[in-house]
Amino acid sequence: MPRKAKIVVKPAPTTRMRLVEGGIAFTPEGGGSFMGTVAQVNALLKAMGYAEVAVRNNLMSGFPYIEAKDTPIYCSPASETYWSM
């Protein structure tokens, strides 16, 4: 009986990203650089096998930051739950 292929999604490499005006600048592991909108960066990440990212605002400082879309709410500085623990 053939096995089903297991799809492994790597965590988003948010340490290699920074916010710039109009989008995100991203440096892939292999070198080079890419700058684009959040949707363009997510398309590139999906093609590379990474999880998608989102730009959210820190609840306490109000500054935007990048985090993985699937970050649990209690681990996200954008939520009140994170700050009340």
Structure confidence by residue, pLDDT tens digits, 1-21: 566 655 567 788 877 888 998
Radius of gyration of the chain (CA): 15
Residues 17, 11: contact at Cβ < 8 Å?
no
The domain spans of the chain are 14-84
Residue 33: pLDDT over 90: no
Vertex 37: Cα angle to 9 and 32 (nearest 5): 70
pTM: 0.78
CA-CA distance, 81 to 40, in Å (whole number)? 30
**Percentage, residues of the chain above pLDDT 70:** 91
- Nearest partner of 11 among 45, 58, 56, judged by Cα: 45
pLDDT digits (tens, 9 = 90+) for 38-79: 999 989 888 888 889 999 999 999 999 999 998 999 999 999
Residue 29: pLDDT over 80: no
CA-CA distance, 10 to 84, in Å (whole number)? 29
